[in-house]
Amino acid sequence: MNWFRDFLLPKSAASNTGDVDGLFMFITWLTVFFFFFNGGLIWYAVRKWRRRSNDDITPHITHDTKLEIIWSVIPLIVVMFIFFWGFRGYVRAWVVPNDALEIVVTGKKWVWEFEYPDGSRSLNDLHVPLNKPVKLVMHSEDVIHSFFVPAFRIKRDVIPGRYTELWFTATEPGVHQVYCTEYCGKGHSDMLARIFADTPEQYEVFLREGDEQVRKMPLKELGKLVYENKGCATCHSIDGTRGQGPSLKAIYGQQITDAAGKSHTIDANYIRESILNPQASVVAGYEPIMPTFQGLLREREILGMIEYIKSLQ
Amino acid sequence: MSDSTTTVQTDRHAHAHPPGLQHHFTNMTQQFEAAKLGMWLFLVTEVLLFGGLFVGYGIMHSKHPEAFVAAHHHLDWRLGALNTIVLLLSSFTMVMGVWAAQTGQRKKLIAFLLLTVFLALVFMGVKYVEYSHKFHEGLLPGKFYSHQGDTVPGQFMFFSFYFMMTGLHGIHVLLGIVAILWITFRAWRGHFSAQYYGPVDITGLYWHLVDLIWIYLFPLMYLIS
Amino acid sequence: MSNHAADHAHEITGPRTYSLILLALLVLTIITVAAARFDFGSMNTVVAILIASIKGSLVALYFMHLRHDRFNAVIFVLGLFFLAVFLIWTLFDISTRKTVLPGNLKQAPQAFPGAPLNKPIRPSTGQPLGAPPAP
Amino acid sequence: MADAMTPTAAHGHPDYLSENKGLWNWLTTVDHKRIGLMYLWSVTAFMIIGGLLALVIRLELLTPRQTIMSAELYNRAFTLHGAIMTFLVIIPAIPAILGNFALPLLLGAKDVAFPRLNLASLYVYWIGAAMAVSTLLLGGVDTGWTFYTPYSTTTGGGVSMMVLAAFVLGFSSIFTGLNFIATTHKLRAPGMGWFQLPLFVWGMYSTAIIQILATPVLGITLLLLVMERVFHIGIFDPQLGGDPVLFQHFFWFYSHPAVYIMILPAMAVMSEVIPTFSKKSIFGYKAIAFSSVAIALLGFLVWAHHMFVAGMSLFAGAIFSFLTFFIAIPSAIKVFNWIATMWRGSIDLKVPMLYAINFLLIFTIGGLTGLFLASLSTDVHLHDTYFVVSHFHYVMAGSNMLALLAGLHYWWPKMYGRMYNNTLATIACTLIFIGFNATFLPQFVMGSRGMPRRYYNYLEQFQTMHVASTIGSWILAAGLFLALATLLASLRKPKDAVPNPWNGRTFEWEAGSPPITHNFEHTPVCIYSPYDYREHPVPIAEEEKSAH
Ligand code: HEA
Ligand code: HEA
Ligand code: CUA
Ligand SMILES: [Cu+2]
């Protein structure tokens, strides 16, 4: 009867789905059984005791306590059984393993944004390693959304003003569909995302070079994305105003003097060093507060940043 | 409510019906009991209507206790207590009115009803004083809240509830005044007797419920700590 | 039920009882006010509700004649019962909700009017989210 | 039920339809039967509007992406469909139509306890309906019928108006319920004790309990929503310190019990139709009566099963799931009792009985699919998918609509004094059964495969099932229109119905077809049980004696 399960449910792709599928199929069979059981009884009664004439005499039966107790107790047992089965699955889906990889999910009209532990972000595409528990910490910027992955049998609302969590361990490599299942307006049905369950090799590539979206992006645009997403914007402006750090506008090719009195030309190497090892030369007049981005930016992102700064003339 | 206060229907069977008995009831007791049951069912809906607000208030209070306590200091508990006493007195005069009706004392009935209306107006007067004071200070519900110098953020929510709850209650008081005046008018016309006083009793029930709700509103709004 | 009706019509409570009840209600009002100036710690609200409920019962039993009116009393209490169910279970859910926070936040961001809107904190930067970038 | 048969119009009184004709007389009537009929046609009108909207929805879903309308329009369409169907059609349907018409007759009363309140309820209904329809002029409503915050507090259009309409309609429902409780308590025929009440009355009584206890909470919820929109009071707004999920508690505290406002009356109709057409006493009278009350009361304890994935706590989820399952027990008891009633009966497959059998089958599916949703781990997967949509159409559209049709065909001779064409009505019933299952069975499958609800656009993989569902909806519509046409066609004939065409045992069959304005020439007296189908019925008094 596996074909029936595969007809009713999407192919399971996570570790905890067995419990859910088992219960689902149990209740399905229960429903099928009672449909045919009740239908059969009715059919039998109608065939056998169809009215023959208007003076048919029927027995006067008002009740049968024993029978009635039986058909109250049997459903009671059945539903209690279902309750505990469902509860078990729910608890398993509730308790997050400690070693889970944490990813922050932001829902907003009508995109999903994922933020990885290294601070990199992506829209609508989420990469996760296979066979490793992953925990999603989710919140919404506007209305309620809901994060639903049918293949993992998980779903939880994404609520403004509060965080909710969801976890899974993907067991099937490939792409899994994510839907928004809480009605959120015009773009509700297009608020889709994909989860890429990566093999270790694929995940390596992803960690090193970012996801496909990033890999295909022109360098300059990638730089802009990094500037906006990695926190550069909090200290550096691009319009020439002074922030906690110097503005990045039109600095490429300029000469600057650092706190130690040495002067530098701002070129690709200088920018790279400023990002990876900012304290090596601190621009005169600024505090040495810029954190290092060693390990937080991928090589291609640094190249992108350089291109982006170049473009800010 | 209005159904028990209806005039006689022309009945095709032309039985000798007592005045005030509607065609589909067999006797006055049945009609009175039905009307009273109807009123109680209506009161239950009122309890749940206000109840929803109490639940909302309770939950927001437990979520922002400091803000609510800080905000309630803007209310004058003395005015609240005064109004509590006024309403309790009015409940008393109302029930005395019912007693007068039951014992067939028409003059006393009218007097007690008018006294009740008077006390209700006093209540509304005090509310007017309180409200205008709040308006003046910018203690208004929701986005109209413009009070300056709050020490704890979130105080505005207390006033959202304050106005919704006392406002809804105030509307009920006004409706009660109208109902009692109508009953007074009918008493004056001599509609009631020791045998037929259902409408007085039923209006009384409504009025006591209005009092009952205030009994809870007072400590929850004016006296929290 | 309807056959009881006639018998009760004569059970008329008189002014004496009503006056006593009024007195009790006024005294209880004073007690509430007094109790409010007294700190019972976490029991403050409970005490206030308790006194209000005594007052409410007096009004319902005597002024509203529920003392002689079993059936309507059942209806009324049923209403209060379901109101209590509503309050208690909603509070139960709200008070047992799990507080989930991203790894780098120690405390849930609080939001209040007047204060900047409740922008969630971005874990990587510790800064509030800016305007959402266009998709 | 009583001893004597009163022949129609023996005293020369005209029936309630012929007396005082004219629009004005209808609009000012306090006759419960006329009010019932006015409800019938009002509700039918809205059912057609809601149904046409459903057909439009189905048409849009024929293909992925845009088929006939934009996403904005689609969202408005399903919201209006849901709101009309719940607030204007199904909640008033059986209580206000069949309840108003039949309850006083079944009790042997002349009218409901508060006839003018009854008329007021109809006017309130019309006002609410006008308000609901007027939202179309205000730009429509796109929140879904559940009005979840914060979406509903931030979107534009006529949300406030729609919410106020639902508020007003709530009063109509409260008035009806209040009337039924008072009528059942105070206006029973002489000799009619609680266990001689026809079970229809028990069902209506249980429904009325819910209407009285739950509807006011809906009222205040909707008022809070309007306040939030107009004043920004903050209670549901996370940015102001409120809690958007709190709204869901408020909403479902009403709306879950409300689903039993929809099914209890349907069950009430079953308990009349099945014994009549089986010519046999109802099986387990008390069990059915108490099950109705049990469903009504239990229904208040389970509302949060709509919120299992809304960030509720583990404990709260477990408790609400646990309690939800208990409602399956009284429902199961009823289903089995009805089948047992048919057992060894003399089953006459007239149209009402056919609808009743269809009800049994469809309710079995609809109810049992509720178990998937009540159970925690499966609900996580199925919540807000088409599985839920299909579940509630099986119980609301399927079960309730079939019961309404069963009751309508059952009491039609009483209402209008005319018999309809049995063959055409049977064909209609068959079409409805086929069409209904063709529409909604595929939705179970696409739902469990992950198709979310309220989706205007969907992935290619779901198209086959959407197409099947859309075609089913046309068959269903054809069946419903045929049923309506058959009933309407009968009105063109002269009155030909006898007072008791089905050999029923309850009081209404002793009144004329149609009855006179005050229902009975002589006040009936309850001597026999309403379900005593013996050749020589035994008076209740004797039966009780022999029991001791
Ligand atoms: C008439 C209306 C009606 C009725 C009667 C029911 C009946 C039931 N409903 Fe349904 N429900 C709705 C209308 C209704 N529902 C609506 C409108 C929604 C969605 C609202 C929205 O989100 O828009 C909904 C949604 C809904 C949910 C939330 C799903 C979600 O959003 O995630 C749940 C969860 O528990 C649920 C459960 C049940 C249960 C357990 C019953 C039970 O009462 C069913 C009991 C009946 C039976 C069990 C069948 C008869 C018994 C037998 C044949 C015997 C055999 C039985 C056993 C062995 C147990 N329903
Ligand atoms: C009583 C309730 C009721 C009824 C009867 C129906 C009837 C139907 N519904 Fe509806 N539906 C809801 C209540 C109902 N629905 C609710 C509450 C929602 C949720 C909305 C939301 O998400 O907010 C919903 C949502 C909903 C959706 C999901 C939309 C989405 O999530 O994107 C769909 C999709 O297929 C649908 C289809 C249908 C169809 C094909 C019918 C067909 O059964 C309609 C057939 C009817 C006709 C064609 C009219 C003909 C009628 C007559 C001729 C009158 C006959 C009368 C007499 C004889 C008296 N409905
Ligand atoms: Cu986001 Cu639906
Ligand atoms: Cu429910």
CA distance linking residue D192 with residue D183, whole number of Å: 13
- The partner residue sitting opposite D110, judged by closest CB among B23, B41, B157, is B23
Chains meeting C at 3+ CB pairs closer than 8 A?
A, B, D
Looking at per-residue pLDDT, the higher value among A230 and D534 belongs to D534
Query: E strand or H helix at C132, and its extent?
Result: none
Whether D369 has its CB under 8 Å from any CB of chain A: the answer is: yes
pLDDT, mean over chain C: 74
- How many CA atoms lie within 13 Å of D513's alpha carbon, on the beta-carbon side? 21
pLDDT of amino acid B22: 78
Q: Whose CA is nearest to atom 49 of ligand 2?
A: D51
Q: Contact, D292 vs D267, CB < 8 A?
A: yes
CA distance linking residue C67 with residue D2, whole number of Å: 38
D408-463 pLDDT, tens per residue? 999 999 999 999 999 999 999 999 999 999 999 999 999 999 999 999 999 999 99
Q: Whose CA is nearest to atom 44 of ligand 1?
A: D367
- Of the given ranges (A240-254, C31-45, D92-106, D146-160), which has the lowest mean pLDDT? C31-45
Q: Which of D40, D62, D85 to mutate to test the pocket of ligand 2 (most atoms within 8 A of CB)?
A: D85
The structure's pTM equals 0.88
Q: Which of D143, D306, D384 to mutate to test the pocket of ligand 1 (most atoms within 8 A of CB)?
A: D306
Test A106 with C129 for CB contact under 8 angstroms. Answer: yes
Q: Please say if the pLDDT value at position D9 is more than 70.
A: no
Chain C partners within 8 Å of B212 (Cβ): 56, 59-60
A246-300 pLDDT, tens per residue? 888 888 888 888 888 888 888 888 999 888 888 888 888 888 888 777 766 778 8
Which of B221, B120, B218, B217 has the alpha carbon at shortest distance from B174? Answer: B120
Number of residues that this document lists for chain B:
225
The reply to whether ligand 2 has any atom less than 6 angstroms from the CB of D453 is: yes
CA distance linking residue A237 with residue A251, whole number of Å: 12
Whether C130 has its CB under 8 Å from any CB of chain A: the answer is: yes
Question: What does DSSP say about strands A145-149 and A154-158: parallel, antiparallel, or unpaired?
Answer: antiparallel
3-state secondary structure chain A: CHHHHHHHCCCCCECCHHHHHHHHHHHHHHHHHHHHHHHHHHHHHHHHCECCCCCCCCCCCCCCHHHHHHHHHHHHHHHHHHHHHHHHHHHHHHCCCCCCEEEEEEEECCEEEEECCCCCEEECEEEEECCCEEEEEEEECCCCEEEEEHHHCEEEEECECCCEEEEEEECCCEEEEEEECCCCCCCHHHCCEEEEEECHHHHHHHHHHCCHHHHHCCHHHHHHHHHHHCCHHHCCCCCCCCCCCCCCCCCCCCEEEECCCCEEECCHHHHHHHHHCHHHCCECCCCCCCCCCCCCCCHHHHHHHHHHHHHCC
CA distance linking residue D236 with residue D234, whole number of Å: 6
Nearest ligand, measured from the Cα of D303: 4
Q: Give span(s): CATH 1.10.287, chain A.
A: 2-46+63-94
Q: Look up residue D38 and give its two tokens.
A: 């006015």
Q: Please say if the pLDDT value at position D270 is more than 60.
A: yes
Q: Contact, D117 vs D79, CB < 8 A?
A: no
- Report the separation in Å between the CA atom of D376 and the middle of ligand 1, taken as the mean of its atom positions: 13
pLDDT of amino acid B73: 87
Q: D274-290 burial, b if ≥16 CB within 10 A, otherwise e?
A: bbbbbbbbbbbbebbbe
CA distances from D444 to A183, D206, D362, D372 (A): 19, 30, 13, 11
Q: Which residue has the tokens 């739950």?
A: D214
Low-confidence stretches of chain A (pLDDT beneath 70): 1, 295-296
Q: Give span(s): CATH 1.10.760.10, chain A.
A: 217-311
> Who surrounds ion ligand 4 at CB < 5 A?
D 256
Test B24 with D115 for CB contact under 8 angstroms. Answer: yes
Test B48 with C79 for CB contact under 8 angstroms. Answer: yes
Q: Structural domains in chain B? A: 51-222 (1.20.120.80)
Q: Which residues contact C47 (CB under 8 A, 6 or more apart)?
A: C35, C40
Q: Please say if the pLDDT value at position C74 is more than 70.
A: yes
| CATH class, A217-311 region | mainly alpha
Query: E strand or H helix at D241, and its extent?
Result: none
CA distances from B35 to B205, D114, D314 (A): 11, 8, 46
Looking at CATH, the fold of the domain delimited by A2-46+63-94 is given as Helix Hairpins (1.10.287)
Q: Which of C26, C33, C91 to mutate to test the interface with B (most CBs of B within 10 A)?
A: C33
Q: Please say if the pLDDT value at position D124 is more than 80.
A: yes
- Most confidently modeled of A107-116, C37-46, D251-260? D251-260
- How many CA atoms lie within 13 Å of D53's alpha carbon, on the beta-carbon side? 21
CATH 2.60.40.420 fits A101-210, yes or no: yes
* B7 band by pLDDT with thresholds 50, 70 and 90: very low
- The partner residue sitting opposite B40, judged by closest CB among C55, C75, C90, is C75
CA distance linking residue D199 with residue D271, whole number of Å: 6
Chain D partners within 8 Å of A20 (Cβ): 377-378, 380-381
Q: Structural domains in chain D? A: 33-547 (1.20.210.10)
**Distance, in angstroms, between A226 CA and closest chain C CA?**
12
Q: Contact, C90 vs D252, CB < 8 A?
A: no
- Report the separation in Å between the CA atom of D46 and the middle of ligand 1, taken as the mean of its atom positions: 24
Which of A157, A135, A154 has the alpha carbon at shortest distance from A145? Answer: A157
Question: Which D positions 102-121 lie with beta carbon below 8 A of chain A?
Answer: none
Q: Whose CA is nearest to atom 37 of ligand 2?
A: D54
Which of D147, D451, D373, D144 has the alpha carbon at shortest distance from A148? Answer: D451
The atom of ligand 1 lying closest to the CA of D295 is 43
Q: Contact, D400 vs D367, CB < 8 A?
A: no
Q: Which of D42, D57, D62, D429 to mutate to test the pocket of ligand 2 (most atoms within 8 A of CB)?
A: D57
B143-189 pLDDT, tens per residue? 777 777 777 777 888 888 999 999 999 999 999 999 999 999 999 99
Q: Contact, B142 vs B202, CB < 8 A?
A: no
Q: Look up residue D69 and give its two tokens.
A: 């309308």
Cis peptide before A218 (omega within 30 of 0): no
Looking at per-residue pLDDT, the higher value among D256 and A240 belongs to D256
Whether C19 has its CB under 8 Å from any CB of chain A: the answer is: no
Query: E strand or H helix at D278, and its extent?
Result: helix D244-278
Q: Please say if the pLDDT value at position D89 is more than 90.
A: yes
CA distance linking residue D16 with residue A83, whole number of Å: 53
Q: Please say if the pLDDT value at position C117 is more than 90.
A: no
- What type of residue sits at position D209? I
pLDDT of amino acid B8: 34
The atom of ligand 2 lying closest to the CA of D144 is 23
Q: Please say if the pLDDT value at position B39 is more than 80.
A: yes
- Report the separation in Å between the CA atom of D378 and the middle of ligand 1, taken as the mean of its atom positions: 14
pLDDT of amino acid D220: 94
What's D501's DSSP letter?
T
CA distance linking residue D538 with residue D544, whole number of Å: 10
Number of residues that this document lists for chain A:
313
3-state percent helix, strand, coil for chain D, nearest multiple of 5: 70, 0, 30
pLDDT of amino acid C104: 66
The reply to whether ligand 2 has any atom less than 6 angstroms from the CB of D276 is: no
Q: Please say if the pLDDT value at position D50 is more than 80.
A: yes
Strands across the sheet with A154-158, in order? A125-129, A193-198, A174-180, A145-149, A154-158
- Report the separation in Å between the CA atom of A184 and the middle of ligand 3, taken as the mean of its atom positions: 4
- The partner residue sitting opposite C135, judged by closest CB among A123, A163, A233, is A123
- Report the separation in Å between the CA atom of D32 and the middle of ligand 3, taken as the mean of its atom positions: 46
Whether D311 has its CB under 8 Å from any CB of chain A: the answer is: yes
Cβ-in-10-Å burial (0-12, 13-18, 19+) of D548 comes to: exposed
Q: Which of A137, A163, A292 to mutate to test the interface with C (most CBs of C within 10 A)?
A: A163
Query: E strand or H helix at C77, and its extent?
Result: helix C70-96
pLDDT of amino acid C121: 45
pLDDT of amino acid A221: 86
Helix (H, G, I), strand (E, B) or coil at D530: coil
- Report the separation in Å between the CA atom of D414 and the middle of ligand 2, taken as the mean of its atom positions: 29
pLDDT, mean over chain D: 91
Q: Which of C59, C74, C78, C82 to mutate to test the interface with B (most CBs of B within 10 A)?
A: C59
